[in-house]
């Protein structure tokens, strides 16, 4: 109820039960700082409405401004705007009735329906966030209407309010917060300026603190991409992320249909794998900051991205569950993936030299995205690059064309497997380097997409490269040499003797492709592969002079030297496969000294 006399109105704020619970949920558990963002957002809405009216009714130009003043003595924070203001009836309608949306009625009166979403504000709910910081809140407001009486509204946070006439002379609204003890920190200019920089730095209305302009009203994403230079993009990146290393490249989003979306996404330079999840895309609603955790807007494989996205149709008080479930957000995510694919394709076609330089930083995410998103895979599969052992870059199609094969030879460790790579290169085989943690999964994925193309580890490829015209040794001779090696090594190994095309390798240890990949995946997942079945085979090179010498020494009865050389050959085979353990290295060094001593 309300009681009215000539000068004073008192009454109870009308709270609709169905709407009070969402208020409590939104504000009681929110960050206290949010109140400033909400009040500034309301002030911006009021200014925008006055500008719309001035345009419709030919009332002249209104230059909007929001000013915050602090009074340490009175312990007040006052937020003033020169928006359209309110009279007594409007205060009661828009403030005292919390469940009512004043902006909705305004839209119907002054705007076409297609533009409604651009100015729907948050009167009522957002205003009451002021009580998170204040024991008492006052509103001094004067409507833009010439005959309107300025008014003063007071409330201590309960349901009681009081409205009295005011002497305010200027059109607009002052929100006066009588701060509670816990909120006196907001009387410091530095903190208020910091919060404005965080939440409202890009609001398209000038914001002042004690008369000093604080914000940048024109973020780069509102500009036409053709009007922005590379240097502009780099400077803006530093504005968003101070002291960051210069980004690799960026994508400027400027979408008007089928939804409204603007923003700039940057691919940062990565220093290590630890940086993979350090991306940060700030989410804005009509240039008002919403959250810096917009991972629900972007798919997981783009977690490295940094930048800003402005989505006018996302509410300020957005929740993670809202982002995860909203169909509009899902459309945004899908469109961003499409634009990134288009950007990558454009770079590949028009600036391949730089694209190849960027690849080292971005390829894990591109590969992951291909495995996660079928449409993304289709868009970028032909521009996916692979590094060769010769330090060049190639697409899969280019590799297959050059090598006239449907078999792709790869190495997982360029340094450790250098001898294998060299042997392949001497045979005219081009070797790809697939040494990232994701590559084992990626080649499995590629084989599932095209079963005609097989990926084979470099050691396995060498073991299959047999010299066709080699002399066939008697089976009995091979069996004797195999038995000797098992005895010399003290291991019951699978051993095969083959006439390999290379003479550089006396022996190599190979493992079935499936088993090799299974172990690699287990390592990536930080699992224990010690219990996984092994399928290793020691290949002795029949064309190696060293193997021939060991065979001859064994047959001549010189078991000591033959054993020493057999063990040494096995050491070399292990060393070409992976780093030796400390104990294995000690034994290898000791044998090396013995071998050198016999020269």
pLDDT per residue over 324-334, tens digit each? 566 777 888 88
| Res 5 pLDDT > 70 | no
Name the pTM for this structure.
Answer: 0.76
| Res 24 pLDDT > 50 | no
CATH code 3.40.50.970 for 384-464:
no
Residue 464's pLDDT is what?
Answer: 86
| Res 231 pLDDT > 90 | yes
Of the candidate CATH numbers 3.30.230.80, 3.40.50.2020, 3.40.50.300, 3.40.718.10, the domain formed by 220-350 belongs to 3.30.230.80
pLDDT band at 18 (very low <50, low <70, confident <90, very high): very low
Q: Which residues of 469-480 are buried (b: 16+ CB within 10 A; e: fewer)?
A: eeeeeeeeebee
DSSP string, 178-226: EE-GGGGGGGSHHHHHHHHHHHSTT-SSEEEETTEE---S--GGGS-GG
Phi, psi of 492, deg, nearest 5: -90, 70
| Res 300 pLDDT > 80 | yes
| Res 117 pLDDT > 80 | no
Topology of domain 475-511+529-597, per CATH? 1.20.120
- Crossing angle between the packed helical segments 475-489 and 545-555, to the nearest 10 degrees: 90
Identify the CA nearest to 42 among candidates 19, 22, 20, 66.
66
Q: What is the mean pLDDT of residues 545-572?
A: 92
Show the CA angle centred on residue 337, arms to residues 332 and 342, nearest 5°.
Answer: 125
Residue 30's pLDDT is what?
Answer: 54
Residue 283's pLDDT is what?
Answer: 87
| Res 22 pLDDT > 70 | no
- Crossing angle between the packed helical segments 439-449 and 513-524, to the nearest 10 degrees: 130
In this predicted structure, which of 41-55, 215-229, 519-533 has the lowest mean pLDDT?
519-533
Residue 321's pLDDT is what?
Answer: 53
Q: Which of the listed ranges 104-118, 437-451, 516-530 does the model predict with the highest average pLDDT?
A: 437-451
Please give the class, per CATH, of domain 2-213: alpha beta
**Percent of the residues in the chain that have a pLDDT greater than 90, as a whole number:** 49
| Res 410 pLDDT > 90 | yes
| Res 27 pLDDT > 60 | no
| Res 217 pLDDT > 60 | yes
Higher pLDDT, 367 or 312: 367
Q: Are 347 and 249 contacting, i.e. CB atoms less than 8 angstroms apart?
A: yes
Identify the CA nearest to 35 among candidates 149, 180, 140.
180
Higher pLDDT, 210 or 255: 210
Residue 224's pLDDT is what?
Answer: 92
Residue 582's pLDDT is what?
Answer: 86
Q: Where are the domains of the chain?
A: 2-213, 220-350, 384-464, 475-511+529-597
In this predicted structure, which of 122-126, 448-452, 510-514 has the lowest mean pLDDT?
122-126
d(CA 17, CA 413): 66
Residue 483's pLDDT is what?
Answer: 94
Residue 21's pLDDT is what?
Answer: 36
| Res 320 pLDDT > 60 | no
pLDDT band at 19 (very low <50, low <70, confident <90, very high): very low
Q: What is the mean pLDDT of residues 37-54?
A: 92
pLDDT band at 312 (very low <50, low <70, confident <90, very high): confident
Cα pseudo-dihedral 475, 481, 485, 487, rounded to 10: 90
């Amino acid at each position: 109820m309300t009681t009215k006399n000539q000068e004073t109105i008192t009454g109870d704020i009308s709270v609709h039960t169905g709407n009070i619970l969402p208020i409590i949920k939104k504000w009681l558990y929110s960050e206290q700082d949010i109140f400033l963002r909400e009040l500034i957002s309301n002030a911006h809405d009021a200014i925008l409405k006055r500008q719309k009216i001035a345009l419709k009714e030919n009332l002249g130009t209104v230059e909007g401004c929001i000013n915050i003043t602090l009074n340490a003595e009175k312990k007040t924070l006052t937020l003033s705007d020169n928006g359209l203001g309110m009279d007594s009836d409007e205060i009661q309608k828009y403030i005292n009735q919390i469940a009512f949306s004043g902006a909705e009625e305004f839209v119907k009166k002054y705007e076409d329906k297609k533009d409604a979403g651009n100015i729907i504000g948050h009167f009522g709910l957002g205003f009451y966030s002021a009580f998170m910081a204040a024991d008492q809140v006052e509103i001094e407001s004067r409507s833009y209407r010439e005959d309107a009486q300025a008014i003063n509204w007071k409330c201590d946070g309960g349901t009681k309010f009081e409205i009295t006439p005011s002497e305010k002379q200027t059109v607009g609204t002052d929100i006066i917060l009588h701060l509670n003890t816990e909120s006196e920190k907001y009387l410091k200019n530095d903190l208020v300026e910091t919060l404005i920089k965080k939440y409202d730095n890009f609001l398209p209305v000038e914001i002042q603190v004690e008369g000093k302009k604080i914000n940048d009203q024109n973020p780069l994403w509102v500009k036409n991409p053709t009007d922005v230079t590379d240097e502009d993009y780099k400077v803006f990146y530093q504005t968003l992320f101070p002291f960051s290393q210069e980004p690799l490249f960026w994508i400027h989003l400027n979408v008007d249909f089928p939804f409204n979306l603007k923003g700039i996404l940057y691919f940062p330079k990565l220093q290590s794998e630890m940086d993979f999840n350090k991306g940060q895309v700030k989410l804005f609603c009509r240039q008002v900051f919403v959250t810096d955790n917009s991972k629900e807007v972007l798919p997981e494989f783009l977690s490295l991205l940094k930048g800003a996205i402005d989505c006018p149709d996302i509410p300020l008080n957005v929740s993670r569950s809202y982002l995860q479930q909203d169909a509009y957000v899902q459309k945004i995510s899908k469109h961003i993936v499409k634009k990134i694919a288009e950007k990558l394709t454009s770079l590949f076609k028009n600036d391949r030299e730089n694209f190849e330089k960027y690849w080292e930083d971005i390829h894990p995410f591109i590969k992951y995205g291909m495995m996660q998103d079928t449409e993304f895979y289709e868009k970028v599969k032909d521009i996916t690059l692979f590094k060769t052992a010769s330090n060049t870059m190639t697409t899969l199609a280019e590799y297959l064309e050059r090598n006239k094969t449907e078999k792709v030879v790869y190495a997982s460790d360029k340094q450790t497997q250098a001898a294998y790579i060299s042997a392949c290169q001497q045979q005219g085989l081009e070797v790809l380097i697939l040494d990232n943690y994701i590559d084992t999964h990626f080649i499995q994925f590629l084989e599932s997409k095209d079963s005609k193309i097989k990926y084979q580890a470099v050691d396995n490829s060498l073991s299959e490269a047999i010299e066709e015209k080699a002399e066939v040794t008697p089976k009995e001779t091979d069996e004797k040499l195999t038995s000797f090696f098992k005895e010399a090594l003290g291991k019951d190994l699978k051993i095969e003797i083959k006439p390999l095309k290379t003479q550089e390798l006396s022996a190599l240890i190979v493992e079935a492709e499936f088993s090799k990949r299974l172990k690699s995946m287990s390592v990536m997942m930080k699992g224990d592969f010690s219990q996984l079945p092994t399928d290793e085979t020691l290949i002795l090179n029949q064309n190696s002079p060293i193997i021939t010498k060991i065979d001859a020494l064994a047959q001549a009865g010189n078991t000591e030297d033959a054993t020493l050389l057999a063990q040494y050959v096995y050491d070399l085979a292990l060393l070409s496969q992976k780093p030796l353990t400390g104990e294995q290295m000690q034994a290898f060094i000791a044998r090396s000294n013995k071998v050198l001593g016999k020269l």
